[in-house]
Amino acid sequence: MTTLTAEVSLTDAELKLLQTLVYQECGMHFDERRTHFLRDRLQRRLKACQLDSFYSYYRLLTSHEGKQELAALLENLTVNETSFFRIRPQLDLFQKTILEEILKRKQERRDWTLRIWSAGCSTGQEPYTLAIMVCDALAYYYLRNPLPFEMPTPKPLIPPPWKVEIVASDISYSALLVAQQGIYNEQQMDTVDYTCRLRYFDKLGDKYSVKAGLKSLVHFDFHNLKTEFLPQRNDVIFCRNVMMYFDEAEQKRLIEKFYRCLNAGGYLFVGHAESLLGLTKKFQMVHKDSGTAYQRLEVRE
């Protein structure tokens, strides 16, 4: 152990070892354009651990005692950029077309459950946006198609007997903590209009706090998308701006997992800079007014 101020040199062999370890652990792939970022984060973690070589750091990461440091490194490598109502055309497709179709289909079967998974939810803006959109979609649906049951007063966010669950997961514990608190500043609320603020947020000093009713619909959990133990039986999966950090082989594996995590006829949304094109034949593209989603096809395995 030593106290270090200058940067410790990182050899190509050490970089390769660490790159491979990160890839194996979480699927993130650092190509030439992103190795500068990786080098920078590795230097920071080496300093924080007060180690004098990257090989010692690698040995720490691969040891039993190094589990916490491995989580800290992965956390430092994630990009957590997100916002409320991000990429409106995709959300419009989700709310106006896909949700409408799912609600109708489920009501006909008297299946009153709706389950949506936000995979890679970062600090929570995406799953809370989805919760708001589902509440509004249900209210609008039953304005036009009265429920075959008596509606309690005051009207609940989710009309019974519907049961809505939004599962939101990430690999970053610090992002999940912020998400669970559900408190956002004015800048983060920039894309939330005032009617939405009034209905779904409480003012907390100069910040906004997600109301308890909306919060109760979202369940946050740690899930590493690299593993096989992922939330099942979803009607819709949102995994936006996550796959872009994976290489093609890992993207294919992830799409296969999403296929298995979706109910028959379920939908997958990826980021607007991401696509399933050339990666799978098990989904069919749905495109409307600049919004794109992918519907699970029922193929024989």
Ligand X SMILES: C[S@@+](CC[C@H](N)C(=O)[O-])C[C@H]1O[C@@H](n2cnc3c(N)ncnc32)[C@H](O)[C@@H]1O
Interaction between residue 242 and ligand X (CB under 6 A): yes
Q: What is the closest distance, in whole angstroms, from the C-beta atom of residue 125 to ligand X in the complex?
A: 6
Tell me which stretch binds ligand X (CB under 6 A): 88-96, 178-186, 223-231, 284-292.
Answer: 223-231
C-alpha–C-alpha distance, residues 182 and 201, integer Å: 9
Tell me which stretch binds ligand X (CB under 6 A): 39-47, 50-58, 171-179, 203-211.
Answer: 171-179
C-alpha–C-alpha distance, residues 44 and 39, integer Å: 9
Interaction between residue 129 and ligand X (CB under 6 A): no
Contact 57, 8 (CB under 8 A): no
Interaction between residue 76 and ligand X (CB under 6 A): no
Tell me phi and psi for residue 54, to 5 degrees.
-75, -20
Interaction between residue 107 and ligand X (CB under 6 A): no
Interaction between residue 170 and ligand X (CB under 6 A): yes
Number of Cβ within a 10 Å radius of residue 199: 14
Interaction between residue 120 and ligand X (CB under 6 A): yes
**Tokens representing residue 69 in the block:** 């440091």
Contact 268, 292 (CB under 8 A): no
Contacting ligand X (CB under 6 A), which of 164, 166, 175, 214? 175
Residue 261's H or E segment, with its range, is: helix 248-261
The whole-angstrom distance between residue 198's C-alpha and the CA centroid of its chain comes to: 25
Sheet holding 113-119, edge to edge: 218-222, 163-170, 113-119, 234-239, 262-270, 291-296, 283-288
Q: Which is nearer to ligand X, 51 or 243 (CB)?
A: 243
Contacting ligand X within 7-66 (CB under 6 A):
26-28
Q: What is the closest distance, in whole angstroms, from the C-beta atom of residue 5 to ligand X in the complex?
A: 30
Q: What is the closest distance, in whole angstroms, from the C-beta atom of residue 200 to ligand X in the complex?
A: 18
Interaction between residue 82 and ligand X (CB under 6 A): yes
According to DSSP, the β-strands at 262-270 and 218-222 are unpaired
Interaction between residue 234 and ligand X (CB under 6 A): no
Left (φ > 0), alpha (ψ -120 to 50) or beta: where does 267 sit? Answer: beta
Interaction between residue 80 and ligand X (CB under 6 A): yes
Interaction between residue 199 and ligand X (CB under 6 A): no
Interaction between residue 79 and ligand X (CB under 6 A): yes
Tell me which stretch binds ligand X (CB under 6 A): 31-39, 53-61, 142-150, 218-226.
Answer: 218-226
Number of residues that bind ligand X (CB under 6 A): 25
Q: How many CA atoms lie within 13 A of 241 on its CB side?
A: 12
Interaction between residue 172 and ligand X (CB under 6 A): yes
Contact 120, 225 (CB under 8 A): yes
Residues of the shown chain interacting with ligand X in the complex, contacts defined by CB under 6 A:
26-28, 78-82, 86, 120-122, 126, 170-172, 175, 223-226, 240-242, 271
